[in-house]
Structure 1
Amino acid sequence: MRRTVAFGTMVAGLLLLGAPGFLGASGVPGAPGSAAPTAAEVKVTNVAATRHAKVSRRKAPRPKPTPRPEMTTRPIPRTAQQDLTAAVAPLARDDGGHVAVAVDDLSTGAIAGYGGTGTFVTASIVKVDILATLLYQSQQAGRELTAAEQALATTMIENSDNDAASDLYDAAGGAAGIDEANSAFGLTETSVGTDGYWGLTTTTADDQIRLLRLVFTRPSVLSGASQDYIEDLMSQVEADQRWGVPAAADPGTPFMVKNGWLPNPTLWEINSIGEITRDGQRMLIAVLSDDNASEDSGISTVQAVAEAAAAAVASAAKA
């Protein structure tokens, strides 16, 4: 019954809205010629205006935010120094910290070392410095090495002859002459001729790498001919002296080396410097050690460190 009444009331209201005179003759409330709006008309108009205002005040929908890209993690590239330290540190600890190494990868530009500033007695590796000094002085004087000097240089490097080294050491001006040349070479951690003996010269692995760069890379204060001369001699050392850094070379590849060994006074100084190729990469390596119980144990230590260092630097280049 209530639904019927409500429906009838709504119909009546609709009929009223369509009745003549509700909108007036013009069909627009308040237009000229129209009747004054009734209270019902005003109410309807106000309701419509209110609804329009509410709709107008509604905020436009916000655009969906652009999704942020997911964060991705990339492995940090290992460095040659990190890899070399990880590889050499256990060997150095086992040796009581009496070994140092420096590597310069000429193919990639990577440089790494362990204990590179530690001081060691050179023993016979100083013979490369003696010859480099003599050649540098000859360049400055505008002359070639004499035949006698060349013969001495050959036996000094290829056979590690000490008498030949003493003669050329004196010819180069002894400690003072070699120190002066080393200043031009950029060797800042080498002290020549300790107690008057060239074999007791002290140096660091880092300085030996600087000496090797002088011999094997350009630019250099040594001429190309002087560099070639030293390299040729270092490539032809006698068979029983081809240990040390060549242990790290790729099988069958050429290498250049100069080794030093000295009981001082009973424990051994064992050193090796030179150029090798490892995994196709050209490397300069210097390994210095002291307080070795024997010559053989020192050689084993130097070769193990050279192998570990070269492998680490080569591996880092491929990481």
Structure 2
Amino acid sequence: MRQSWTGPPRARNPRFPGWPRLAGAAALLAVSIALPVVVVPRVLETGGPARQEAPPTPPLGPDAAIGTDDDEPVRLAPEDAERISGVLDDYMADRAGRIAVAVEELTTGATYEYQADREFLTGSLVKLDILTLMLLRADDEDRDLTQRERELAEEMIRYSDNTITDNLFADIGYGPGLLEGNERFGLRATEPSPANVWGATTTTAADQRRLLRAVFTDTGPLSEQSREIAAELLGDVVAEQAWGVSVAAGDGGTAELKNGWVPIDDHGGRWVINSAGHVTSDSSEYLIVVLSDRHLDYSSGIECVEYVVREVTEVLDEELA
């Protein structure tokens, strides 16, 4: 599908250096006429509709390391890495789809990665990124979120509302604003769509783990207050959207997460299924990211993601005990 970008141009905001502002209607008209058509992957949906059940199943139509330093980790024993990766290799050999995994256990600093630099479409997972940039802007301006911002952020995260996400994506400056803000979180491989379609952003599991660290540790640019707001919203996702990494919590744990799910026309209607979040159990505290695509349907994609989460965390729990 061809999509032409009709978003307004961005100009620097003199009050808040580094953040874009929207230009006037006249400039919008001129730019929307002048800009060329851009071809992007056809995204059939970009997340679930607000306040509705997750979409029904449609017709059928490594590396591993220990340490918190991304640049100089201490390697796991080869047999430990091979054990986890072998389980995933065997599982995916009999299934449609691709996966990537990035996990960090925060109390020990142990990390595990599987195809973590492979690129995937985000779908609604990018809403977590948009939320962090909203919070970062408020921190830069030394203020709380406005009531409007807080209400819109809640709708975007809890219900995965797409129309509200359109508005908040505009607020942060569309793709260029996303790209500029992500530099401050150390995201190295998250690229917005050339047509400014937020759901067609591409990312890697490694980048999404870096983003989670910015929210759930004090190593990033977000204030403690902003991190608390993000955790609160991510911990209150409606029940029908709380699948995925939450399975690692067990019976007595907690999960703060955001998921993304979207069928892709260019892949024959097969599904992207992503899940990322912070999960605590009786014995562990994890940041977990699983990105995946080309699943035959929505439900089998979730089944795959949850299997991967269980297998990886169970093995890590054994190694770290």
User: How has the CA–CA distance of structure 1 residues 242 and 129 changed in structure 2, closer, same or farther, with 3 Å as cutoff?
Assistant: same
The residue aligned with 1:174 is 174
Corresponding position: 1:89 with 2:89 = yes
Query: C-alpha offsets along residues 131-166 of structure 1, whole Å, 9 cap, x if unaligned?
Result: 101111121122222111111100100111111111
Question: Could you tell me how far 1:194 is from its partner in structure 2?
Answer: 4.3
The residue aligned with 2:150 is 150
The residue aligned with 2:32 is none
Query: C-alpha offsets along residues 63-118 of structure 1, whole Å, 9 cap, x if unaligned?
Result: xxxxxxxxxxxxx9677534421332212323356111110110111111111010
Task: Output aligned runs, 1:109-258, within 5 Å.
Answer: 109-258=109-258
How many Å separate the matches in 2 of 1:296 and 1:242? Answer: 13
Which residue among 298, 306, 314 is the counterpart of 1:303? 306
Secondary structure (helix, strand or coil) at the match of 2:260 reads strand
Secondary structure (helix, strand or coil) at the match of 2:180 reads helix
Amino acid at match of 2:302: I
User: How has the CA–CA distance of structure 1 residues 228 and 81 changed in structure 2, closer, same or farther, with 3 Å as cutoff?
Assistant: farther
Query: C-alpha offsets along residues 258-286 of structure 1, whole Å, 9 cap, x if unaligned?
Result: 10000112111000000112451100000
Question: Could you tell me how far 1:242 is from its partner in structure 2?
Answer: 1.1
How many Å separate the matches in 2 of 1:146 and 1:199? Answer: 25
Amino acid at match of 1:259: N
User: How has the CA–CA distance of structure 1 residues 111 and 79 changed in structure 2, closer, same or farther, with 3 Å as cutoff?
Assistant: farther
Amino acid at match of 2:217: T
Q: What count of residue pairs does the alignment treat as equivalent?
A: 243
Secondary structure (helix, strand or coil) at the match of 2:275 reads strand
Secondary structure (helix, strand or coil) at the match of 2:134 reads helix
Task: Output aligned runs, 1:266-305, within 5 Å.
Answer: 266-278=269-281, 280-305=283-308
Secondary structure (helix, strand or coil) at the match of 2:184 reads helix
Secondary structure (helix, strand or coil) at the match of 1:190 reads coil
How many Å separate the matches in 1 of 2:311 and 2:282? Answer: 13
The TM-score normalised by the length of structure 2 is: 0.73
User: How has the CA–CA distance of structure 1 residues 127 and 298 changed in structure 2, closer, same or farther, with 3 Å as cutoff?
Assistant: same
How many Å separate the matches in 2 of 1:108 and 1:307? Answer: 19
- The CA RMSD measured in Å over matched residues stands at 1.6
Structure in which a larger fraction of residues adopt helix: 1
How many Å separate the matches in 2 of 1:253 and 1:150? Answer: 26
The answer to whether the 8 A contact 2:120-2:292 is kept is yes
User: How has the CA–CA distance of structure 1 residues 316 and 79 changed in structure 2, closer, same or farther, with 3 Å as cutoff?
Assistant: farther
Structure in which a larger fraction of residues adopt strand: 2
The answer to whether the 8 A contact 1:105-1:284 is kept is yes
User: How has the CA–CA distance of structure 1 residues 109 and 150 changed in structure 2, closer, same or farther, with 3 Å as cutoff?
Assistant: same
The answer to whether the 8 A contact 2:105-2:285 is kept is yes
User: How has the CA–CA distance of structure 1 residues 149 and 257 changed in structure 2, closer, same or farther, with 3 Å as cutoff?
Assistant: same
User: How has the CA–CA distance of structure 1 residues 303 and 177 changed in structure 2, closer, same or farther, with 3 Å as cutoff?
Assistant: same
The answer to whether the 8 A contact 1:85-1:114 is kept is yes
The residue aligned with 1:58 is none
The TM-score normalised by the length of structure 1 is: 0.73
User: How has the CA–CA distance of structure 1 residues 194 and 301 changed in structure 2, closer, same or farther, with 3 Å as cutoff?
Assistant: farther
Amino acid at match of 2:156: M
How many Å separate the matches in 2 of 1:113 and 1:230? Answer: 25
How many Å separate the matches in 1 of 2:78 and 2:280? Answer: 21
How many Å separate the matches in 2 of 1:231 and 1:272? Answer: 15
Identity %: 38
Task: Output aligned runs, 1:47-62, within 5 Å.
Answer: none
Secondary structure (helix, strand or coil) at the match of 1:292 reads coil
Which residue among 299, 304, 319 is the counterpart of 1:316? 319
* Consecutive unaligned residues in structure 2, runs of 5 or more: 1-75
Query: C-alpha offsets along residues 15-74 of structure 1, whole Å, 9 cap, x if unaligned?
Result: xxxxxxxxxxxxxxxxxxxxxxxxxxxxxxxxxxxxxxxxxxxxxxxxxxxxxxxxxxxx
